[in-house]
């Protein structure tokens, strides 16, 4: 006799803990996905308890939760990590924009969540990501809103609410959903058209905020700015390194035919529909790499 509830997937130990953590919903989801990924790659609990993990562009709270289920976690960020308390399972380090403060092959599993769409130099960052992973180790990259996607402009209600407090202005009517910053608008509207449209929606007195929104979409390039690379360009960069892609998962939102034709005419053939991407890559074990290098050398000489 099979009891149907036996067939239900096992509820992982961390679910309740993540649920009760003071994190945004998307951060909870990401943490869960990361833990599931680690569990899949290291199914043996003994092995899992020794895995060295790196979080590139970290959230210390996420990392402290994560550290209970793996060996230890290193979190790096561009700044502000000096005030984060480290313990025997976690360590927080400041990093430079194009450099990670770690030795080559220092970790077994390096992940970054929602970082890819903000990089000023994606190629340099991936190079560092690959460098710090030990041979045979894994990289995990998860991000949403690539430049080509409907929300590639990356302007969200939560950010606008924050900017309103910074500018000390009353709350505007801004809402997510494409009414204020239209879907694909960053690819189809000029700066001037975008400015005029958002200003007309938010009303007079919001010029400062609107200018900041336009600047964030089109011009900003620091860690809060955008990399403005289409998904295929990012994937090409990842593929250009000596790694094996274990998993690539895309979630897409279909674009209507006229918009797709207009986008392709203006910006060329790109992926305009994928808004969420997950990539898992494995750095080849050193002996495999040696064989490959030798083969390359042989091909070069003959």
Partner 1 sequence: MLFRRQPKNVAPPRPPWMDQIDAADLYEFQRVQLAGTIRVLEELYPKATDRERVEVLDVGCNPTQDRILSQFVKHVTGCNVGGMENVPGDAKTAFVNSGEVELPFPTDTFDFAYSLSVMEHLKDTRAVMAEHVRVLKPGGYGYVEWCCQWGCYAGHHIFAILVRDWEKHLKLPRSPFEDGGDFVPDWGHLLLTPDQMRKLLCKKLGPGFEKLADVIVDVIYFRTDEHGLARLYLGEVMEIIRSFDVEIVEFTRQEVKAPKAVKEILRAKHGDHDYDAHYAKVIFRKRSGEGPSSVGSATELAEASG
Binding site for partner 1 (CB under 8 A): 150, 178-179, 182-185, 188-189, 193-194, 196-197, 255-259, 261-262, 265-266
Shortest spacing between CB 265 and partner 1, in angstroms: 4
Q: What is the DSSP string of 157-183?
A: HHHHHHHHHHTT-------TTTTSS-T
Residue 178 or 203 with smaller CB distance to partner 1? 178
Residue 196 or 246 with smaller CB distance to partner 1? 196
CA separation (Å) from 21 to 70, 85, 111, 274, 281? 18, 18, 20, 29, 29
Residue 187 or 231 with smaller CB distance to partner 1? 187
Shortest spacing between CB 146 and partner 1, in angstroms: 17
Shortest spacing between CB 193 and partner 1, in angstroms: 6
Residue 77 or 149 with smaller CB distance to partner 1? 149
* Side-by-side strand order, sheet with 244-252: 90-94, 72-77, 52-56, 107-113, 133-144, 274-282, 244-252
DSSP state of 242: S
Cβ-based neighbours of 167, under 8 Å, separated by 6 or more: 208, 209, 212
Residue 23 or 196 with smaller CB distance to partner 1? 196
Separation of alpha carbons 59 and 76, rounded Å: 9
Contacts for 86-95 with beta carbons within 8 Å, 24 or more apart?
Answer: 89/64, 90/60, 90/63, 90/64, 92/58, 92/60, 92/63, 95/56
Residue 42 or 174 with smaller CB distance to partner 1? 174
- Beta strands (DSSP E) in the chain are 52-56, 72-77, 90-94, 107-113, 133-144, 244-252, 274-282
Say if strands 133-144 and 72-77 run parallel, antiparallel, or are unpaired: unpaired
Shortest spacing between CB 178 and partner 1, in angstroms: 5
Buried b (16+ CB within 10 A) or exposed e, 30-69: bbebbbebbeebbeeeeebeebbbbbbbbbbebbbbbbeb
Shortest spacing between CB 25 and partner 1, in angstroms: 24
Residues counted in the chain: 302
Shortest spacing between CB 258 and partner 1, in angstroms: 4
Shortest spacing between CB 188 and partner 1, in angstroms: 5
- The answer to whether 45 touches 190, Cβ cutoff 8 Å, is no
Residue 168 or 192 with smaller CB distance to partner 1? 192
Cβ-based neighbours of 33, under 8 Å, separated by 6 or more: 142, 278
Shortest spacing between CB 254 and partner 1, in angstroms: 10
Residue 261 or 291 with smaller CB distance to partner 1? 261
């Amino acid at each position: 006799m099979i009891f149907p509830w036996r067939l239900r997937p096992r509820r992982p130990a961390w679910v309740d803990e993540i649920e009760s953590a003071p994190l945004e919903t998307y951060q909870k989801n990401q943490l869960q996905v990361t833990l599931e990924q680690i569990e899949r790659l290291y199914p043996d609990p003994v092995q899992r308890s020794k895995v060295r993990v790196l979080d590139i562009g970290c959230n210390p709270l996420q990392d402290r939760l994560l550290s209970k289920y793996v060996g230890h976690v290193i979190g790096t960020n561009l700044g502000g990590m000096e005030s984060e308390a480290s313990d025997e399972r976690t360590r927080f380090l400041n990093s430079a924009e194009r450099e990670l403060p770690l030795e080559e092959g220092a970790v077994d599993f390096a992940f970054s969540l929602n970082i890819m769409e903000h990089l000023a130099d994606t190629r340099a960052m991936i190079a560092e990501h690959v460098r710090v992973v030990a041979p045979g180790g894994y990289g995990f990259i998860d991000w949403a809103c690539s430049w080509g996607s409907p929300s590639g402009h990356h302007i969200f209600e939560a950010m606008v609410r924050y900017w309103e407090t910074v500018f000390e202005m009353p709350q505007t009517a801004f809402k997510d959903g494409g009414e204020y910053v239209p879907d694909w608008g960053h690819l189809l509207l000029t700066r001037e058209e975008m400015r005029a449209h958002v200003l007309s929606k938010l009303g007079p007195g919001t010029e400062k905020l609107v200018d900041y929104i336009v600047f964030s979409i089109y011009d900003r390039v620091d860690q809060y700015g955008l990399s403005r690379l289409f998904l295929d360009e990012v994937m090409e960069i990842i593929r250009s390194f000596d790694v094996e892609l274990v998993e690539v998962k895309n979630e897409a939102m279909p674009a209507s035919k006229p918009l797709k034709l207009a986008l392709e005419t203006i910006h060329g053939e790109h992926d305009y529909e994928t808004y969420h991407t997950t990539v898992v890559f494995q750095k080849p074990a050193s002996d495999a790499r040696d064989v490959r290098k030798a083969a390359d050398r042989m091909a070069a000489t003959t």
